[in-house]
Chain A
Amino acid sequence: MWEVHVATADEMVKLGRCMAAYLCGGDIVALYGPLGTGKTTLIQGIAEGLETTKRIISPTFVLVREYSGRLPLFHVDAYRLEGIDPSDIDWQVSFSEYISRGGVVVIEWAEYIKQLLPNERLDVFLSHESVGRNVKFLAHGERHSKLLLDVREGWKRLCKE
């Protein structure tokens, strides 16, 4: 578990870039938080760090956008899936396809598909503060715990610079 305060949108992009430096194919990042807490902004930073060639825009309408970069990036958005009956769909199939393609999977509005998320993942909770945003990380599984440690150390170094 790690918590960080992010003051501006630029800093949120920087945090995303920092995360990208340690992401490996098969990593799953699940983002939670209400409208306007900076989820898409964080992913824009991750995409920059992964050197995707296209600009990241919201995938709400199409549910998932694929980008190619240092690693393939699958940007999933479950906003339109609120209230879904998890027994009706098999997202595991999609997630395993993305993972088998060596990609990083980032999921916005993960709270709406909680029961469908892979067990091993990095949870990121975003919330409003009076100034800026609060970002809380929680890792599940060995690989994602290592990822979280790396991101945390990387961020500390960045902030000292």
Chain B
Amino acid sequence: MVVLGIETSCDETSVALVRDGRTILSNIVCSQADWHKHFGGIVPEIASRKHVELLFPALDLALKEASVELNSIDGVAVTCGPGLISSLAVGLAVAKAICAALNKPLIPVNHLEGHMLSAFLADNELDFPFLCLIVSGGHSELVYAHDLGKYEVLGRTRDDAAGEAFDKVARVLGLGFPGGPAIDKAATNGSPSAIAFPRADMGGSLDFSFAGLKTAVARFVEGYRDILADKSASQYTVPDIAASFQEAVVDMLIQQTERAIQMTKANALAVVGGVAANRRLRQRMNELTSGYGIKLVIPPIILCTDNAAMTACAGYYRLERGLTANLDVDAIAVWDLEDVTVSHLPPKVT
């Protein structure tokens, strides 16, 4: 079965074709990042206009690269939420149009479910159940995936997402955007133990919190701004701060993931989302999983950032079980994983 995937939840316009949920035939990702840089960030109205412009060329390219005819696909999987409503609506409208015109089944997909199942595209052997850490600019969640549509959220951020903390701290340190790669790079020349930034105490919970850490780094830099400018006089360097901050984030992610491994006795761990590209996190996750003798799957970067291959993958598993939707399905801005069910229709907008 070949499933067409469409993902427009934020500022990437992506179309993909995936065979049997595991083999990527094409995965076209048009990032609007350069475009939005001109405006200093993502502007919802502009993002949705760009999706309109980019979606059809991306669709043509995806079909061409996969050598697949549109009318030979078996279904259309589309991200319905969570995300920017005006952006989601573009992908959903196109998906519905294709389904209506060619009489194909429509498969609504939750963006976070897509991220989790991207691990299936990276490792053919991986199957349910598995433990999953989702870490991106907008999300930080620790999830036990029992089965398709049965996701137990063990912990999530109480304030900022991990990727957001990277972006904001990079800005404070003058390292530029996107912050993740900038911190990763700067940290290689710094000492992770130079400054003891605080690790939030989450009690017994598996939640995360990064706001306090972010504030601590911002206030530290404020206090040292003049000293930092004079490199010879400074006790600490920007790389030291970057490395110490990164270590604090990674420590928190590792600590909570380790507790989740012990709790669930999972024998496989997937780390997905943009922050999974961080080299220190990858290294520490490798050490953690080898220590427990469990499998670790971290998808390549193209599958970690927003992409439609993950949507098509999740769509395949839903289609296989006949979990399709009518064409009156809505896009939804806030759609938590625990509200994703097997039958999987997005909750109605109230």
- Chain A residues at the B interface, C-beta cutoff of 8 Å: 34-36, 40-41, 54-55, 57-58, 60-68, 78-85, 88-90, 93-94, 128
Query: CB distance A61 to B336 under 8 Å?
Result: no
Residues of B within 8 A of A63 (CB): 41-44, 84
When chains A and B are docked, how far (Å) is the Cα of A54 from the Cα of B47?
26
When chains A and B are docked, how far (Å) is the Cα of A40 from the Cα of B210?
12
Query: CB distance B40 to A54 under 8 Å?
Result: no
Secondary structure of the A side of the interface? Answer: loop
11 residue pairs from A and B, CB less than 8 Å apart: A34-B218, A36-B216, A40-B160, A40-B211, A54-B336, A57-B160, A64-B44, A79-B168, A80-B42, A90-B45, A94-B44
Known: A35-B218, A36-B218. A67 touches B334 (CB 8 A): yes
Known: A34-B218, A88-B39. A60 touches B160 (CB 8 A): yes
State the interface size on chain B (CB cutoff 8 A): 37
B195 interface residue, CB < 8 Å from A? no
B46 interface residue, CB < 8 Å from A? yes
Proximity bits, B140-159, A CB within 8 Å = 1, else 0: 00000000000000001111
- Closest A residue to B86 by beta carbon equals A94
Those of B135-189 within 8 Å (CB) of chain A:
136-138, 156-161, 163-164, 167-168, 172
- Chain B residues at the A interface, C-beta cutoff of 8 Å: 10, 39-46, 82-85, 136-138, 156-161, 163-164, 167-168, 172, 211, 214-216, 218-219, 333-334, 336, 350
Query: CB distance A36 to B219 under 8 Å?
Result: yes
B84, B136, B334: most-surrounded residue (chain A CB, <10 A): B334
Residues of B within 8 A of A55 (CB): 158
- Closest A residue to B333 by beta carbon equals A66
Query: CB distance A84 to B41 under 8 Å?
Result: yes
When chains A and B are docked, how far (Å) is the Cα of A135 from the Cα of B222?
20
Residues of A within 8 A of B40 (CB): 80-84
Task: Name B45's contact: one of A35, A40, A89 (CB within 8 Å).
Answer: A89
Nearest Cβ on chain B to A78's Cβ, whole angstroms: 8
Nearest Cβ on chain A to B316's Cβ, whole angstroms: 27
Nearest Cβ on chain B to A2's Cβ, whole angstroms: 25
Nearest Cβ on chain B to A91's Cβ, whole angstroms: 8
Residues of B within 8 A of A60 (CB): 137, 160-161, 164, 167-168
Query: CB distance B214 to A61 under 8 Å?
Result: no
Query: CB distance A35 to B168 under 8 Å?
Result: yes
Nearest Cβ on chain A to B263's Cβ, whole angstroms: 21
Query: CB distance B211 to A89 under 8 Å?
Result: no
When chains A and B are docked, how far (Å) is the Cα of A80 from the Cα of B179?
12
When chains A and B are docked, how far (Å) is the Cα of A61 from the Cα of B163?
9
Task: Name A88's contact: one of B43, B158, B211 (CB within 8 Å).
Answer: B43
Residues of B within 8 A of A84 (CB): 39-41, 43
Query: CB distance B334 to A36 under 8 Å?
Result: no
When chains A and B are docked, how far (Å) is the Cα of A85 from the Cα of B211?
29
Residues of A within 8 A of B167 (CB): 60
- Closest B residue to A40 by beta carbon equals B159
Query: CB distance A81 to B43 under 8 Å?
Result: yes
Given contacts A61-B164, A88-B39, 17 further A-B contacts (CB under 8 A): A35-B214, A35-B215, A36-B216, A36-B219, A41-B211, A60-B168, A61-B10, A61-B136, A62-B10, A62-B84, A62-B138, A65-B334, A66-B85, A81-B39, A89-B45, A94-B44, A94-B45
